[in-house]
Structure 1
Amino acid sequence: MSGTEGRAGVDAHGFTPKARFGLTLIAGGAVANIYYNQPLLALLVTEFGERAALWVPTASLVGYGLGILGLVPLGDSLSRRSLIIGQTLGLAVALLAAALSPNLAALALASLVIGILASAAQQAVPFAAELAPDASRGRMVGQVMTGLLTGILLARTASGLVGAHYGWRAVFFAASAVAVLMAGIAATTLPGAAQTRPLRYRALMLSILYLVRSQPALRRSSLSQGLLFASFNAFWATLALLVEAPPFNLAAAGAGMFGVIGVAGACVAPLSGRFTDRRGPRPMVVIGALFVVAAFAVLWAGGARSLVAVGLGVLLIDIGLNASLIANQTRVYALVPSARGRINTVLFTVMFVFGALGAFAGSQAFLLAGWSGVCGVGIILASAGFLVSVLERKDT
């Protein structure tokens, strides 16, 4: 059976509404775990000291990048359904360890493992691309990505509310229970499609290097999206520190509520997918990058004085990031259909390495220059992402 025939069989019998719903929930529920800590930073600083604001969010993002690099390629050789179940069960254990952490070192280590196993979200996205018909792949990827992006945003809101009322440990206890639930959802909703070309792990990893060398569109998409995601994380890693200080004086719950605004940005994912299916990815990538640049201009002009400006910045940055991400994903998934997991690994490893660097740079800028420093870092990173996109040849 050819790879195309194998995918056709799965399309006909596996990509049911139940499977789409399951993948959407799993994508959002898994990725949420690396963002629960961000609205809790003030609480963590109170218990563990100022270094907690730097090491905990950075460790979770680095771990996520390592998981994408080391675990996601296995989806091209093993059952993605089985991988998702195994990772979510392991995630439940790591979250429990975080809730019981006695010191910052233990919490940072647990955060690293949480990030690694939360990469189950990135098994869901290429799974959707594999199951979807070619003509509607952008729209279907956009639907699953709506779940992933909503999970990122609502994680902050839920974490802030629970943390404000019950403490930061309660957030991780609750997340552990949710991870067990996700494993059950995966077991009952996802098809167990057999892989047609099993490869050894060494061959899988070496083939990633070949993909990077041979696919310039993959390199460009990864770089532009990585720069935009770095700016995104520079903002979100420091937002709680801004709004919990004068003149705003919001609690952790108030900081988390900004995630609700970002849900509106996540809703553009299916629209971006439809636009990309019809017009191609490049215009949407350029538009999305421009939105992120505009977001930081708004945040720099009024974010330190006005919650309205902060809310508008949140909306713009999430719309821009999500629109460009769906377009870049749709473009790279079409390059080598049999290697979508490994292509996803390249794209998201670059993104989350840049994201970790962005969180680090944003935190350092806040400590050295306050909110204007964060916005300066964000504008530089987002402008670089815009230039990578706008300077591409028009036929890409």
Structure 2
Amino acid sequence: MIQNTDAADAPIAEPDGARGIGTGLTILFAFACGALAANLYYAQPLVALIGADTGLPVSLESFIVTAAQVGYAIGLVLLVPLGDIVENRKLILATTALNLVSLAGLALLPGLAALFAMTLLVGITSCAAQMIVPLAANLAPASQRGAVVGNVMTGLLGGILLARPIASFLAEYLGWRGVFGVSGLAVGAILVAGLFLVPERRPSAGKGYGDLIASLGRLFIEEPVLRRRGLYHAAMFASFSMFWTAAPIILFREPFNFTSSGVALFTLAGVFGVFAAPVAGRLADRGHARRGTVIAISLAIAAFVLAWFGKTVFWPLLLAGIVIDLGVQANLVLGQREIYQLNETIRNRLNAVYMTTFFLGGALGSSLASPLLENFGWAAICLVGAGLPAAALTYFAISEGRTTHASGA
């Protein structure tokens, strides 16, 4: 439990789940979270196509993915905490509307400047997904909160895992711009439904915006569980982003010569990661979070050992995609469980700090993918990709060996 929460972090006074949440609204929230989160991943299998179309140098192609992830981190820091002080319905709908505008710009506006500006804005405004999850938790009765949040997170996870194959399939017929056009249609439908279905939630007056944002840095510095879990997953997400940005690039080349549809089938391997979430949750609930963390991080290392043999042989690459998704999704669930136990009154900010930390790691991984691949080859991807989770495992062994906090993390 957080020991350094000051008076400024006092609970927001409001009825606990006073309005309730029905099945229809839960489905809308799950679909919205999935569609918004997917925006960050559509470009991963498309960077080679986007680069060829826009004249972007090959060594810089992965920075397209980086721009979306950096944008998301900005949104997590600057926008998501507003859910603690601003009426939630207006905040979510306004952010979603800006997401729709940015997707339209990405699909229609020419030039590299527009490409990166709109990608950054898509990333920033896709953080609306992380405003919806706390709203669902606040609307749900305490007795149903876990189930409701679990259902909404299933939608978010599904969007992440399906984004890559959907993007590859659509690009085969509509081009890369068409992928973001279709995403815009989905977000537009969500916005219209939200105007009618999303209820209001008015937090009690509390922090000013400056104090709210400043408290995020204090949480990272003062709360060791949050800091450790954020850094573990930053390393994991960096290796994850590196793999899923670089692997489609080599599949378009000799000896594979995949089409976009072929890459789509390959990226479907990531869907197996969804099976890691319930297993990781059960391990944590039974007091095995530490053991689960070791297993999850070790899976990421093993994935790059497999990937080492995948430069010219397909099946090790396919297996590596399955294994890394299993490890990363398991570690995400374990980390979320630990931070959500810290202080229920500031979950929006805890969530913002955790997500920002590891998405910055993801941005680092995706930014390294093209330069490493072009200058040093696939072996460099595998070495750095394995080294990042190995560093996290070392940090885990050093830091967690010195503490025996009650959560069993």
TM-score with structure 2 setting the length:
0.89
Following superposition, the deviation at residue 85 of structure 1 comes to 1.5
Following superposition, the deviation at residue 347 of structure 1 comes to 0.7
The equivalent residue for 2:179 is: 171
**1: CA distance between counterparts of 2:382 and 2:147?**
33
Q: Which has the higher helix share?
A: 1
The equivalent residue for 2:310 is: 303
Instruction: Tell me, yes or no, if the aligned pair for 2:39 and 2:123 is still in contact at 8 Å.
Output: yes
The equivalent residue for 2:28 is: 22
Structure 2 vs 1, CA of residues 185 and 333 (structure 1 numbering), >3 Å: closer, same or farther?
A: farther
**1: CA distance between counterparts of 2:394 and 2:337?**
20
The equivalent residue for 1:372 is: 379
**1: CA distance between counterparts of 2:137 and 2:236?**
23
The within-5 A match list for 1:317-356 is 317-356=324-363
Moved more, 320-329 or 117-126: 117-126
Instruction: Tell me, yes or no, if the aligned pair for 1:63 and 1:113 is still in contact at 8 Å.
Output: yes
Following superposition, the deviation at residue 101 of structure 1 comes to 2.3
Instruction: Tell me, yes or no, if the aligned pair for 1:31 and 1:152 is still in contact at 8 Å.
Output: yes
**2: CA distance between counterparts of 1:306 and 1:111?**
33
Structure 2 vs 1, CA of residues 128 and 275 (structure 1 numbering), >3 Å: closer, same or farther?
A: farther
The equivalent residue for 2:67 is: 59
* Partner residue of 1:216 out of 208, 224, 241: 224
The equivalent residue for 2:7 is: none
Gaps of 5+ in 1: none
Instruction: Tell me, yes or no, if the aligned pair for 1:95 and 1:175 is still in contact at 8 Å.
Output: yes
Does structure 1 residue 362 correspond to structure 2 residue 369? yes
**1: CA distance between counterparts of 2:232 and 2:185?**
36
Following superposition, the deviation at residue 156 of structure 1 comes to 1.2
Following superposition, the deviation at residue 188 of structure 1 comes to 4.4
**2: CA distance between counterparts of 1:188 and 1:179?**
15
The equivalent residue for 1:120 is: 128
Instruction: Tell me, yes or no, if the aligned pair for 1:27 and 1:151 is still in contact at 8 Å.
Output: yes
Moved more, 115-124 or 270-279: 270-279
Does structure 1 residue 151 correspond to structure 2 residue 159? yes
**2: CA distance between counterparts of 1:63 and 1:112?**
5
**2: CA distance between counterparts of 1:112 and 1:183?**
20
Secondary structure, aligned partner of 2:110: coil
Residue 201 of structure 2 aligns with an amino acid whose one-letter code is A
Moved more, 191-200 or 341-350: 191-200
* Partner residue of 2:96 out of 88, 112, 130: 88
C-alpha deviations, 1:124-171, integer Å up to 9, x for none? 333344456778866654443332222122111111111111211211
Residue 329 of structure 1 aligns with an amino acid whose one-letter code is Q
What is the percent sequence identity of the aligned residues? 35
Moved more, 226-235 or 333-342: 333-342
**2: CA distance between counterparts of 1:184 and 1:319?**
35
The equivalent residue for 1:283 is: 291
**2: CA distance between counterparts of 1:273 and 1:129?**
18
* Partner residue of 1:199 out of 185, 199, 207: 207
Residue 369 of structure 1 aligns with an amino acid whose one-letter code is F
**2: CA distance between counterparts of 1:287 and 1:141?**
25
C-alpha deviations, 1:273-326, integer Å up to 9, x for none? 3432332643332221121111111111x2112222122111111111111111
TM-score with structure 1 setting the length:
0.91
Structure 2 vs 1, CA of residues 183 and 383 (structure 1 numbering), >3 Å: closer, same or farther?
A: same
The equivalent residue for 1:44 is: 50
Following superposition, the deviation at residue 366 of structure 1 comes to 0.5
Residue 17 of structure 1 aligns with an amino acid whose one-letter code is T
Secondary structure, aligned partner of 2:61: helix
Following superposition, the deviation at residue 8 of structure 1 comes to 2.7
Instruction: Tell me, yes or no, if the aligned pair for 1:44 and 1:168 is still in contact at 8 Å.
Output: yes
Gaps of 5+ in 2: 1-9
The equivalent residue for 2:263 is: 255
C-alpha deviations, 1:221-260, integer Å up to 9, x for none? 1100111001101111112111111111101222232332
Does structure 1 residue 237 correspond to structure 2 residue 236? no
**1: CA distance between counterparts of 2:90 and 2:342?**
26
Secondary structure, aligned partner of 2:16: helix
**2: CA distance between counterparts of 1:371 and 1:4?**
50
Computed over aligned residues only, the root mean square deviation of the Cα atoms, in angstroms, reads 2.3
Instruction: Tell me, yes or no, if the aligned pair for 2:167 and 2:264 is still in contact at 8 Å.
Output: yes
Moved more, 48-57 or 314-323: 48-57
Residue 40 of structure 1 aligns with an amino acid whose one-letter code is L
Residue 383 of structure 1 aligns with an amino acid whose one-letter code is A
The equivalent residue for 1:313 is: 320
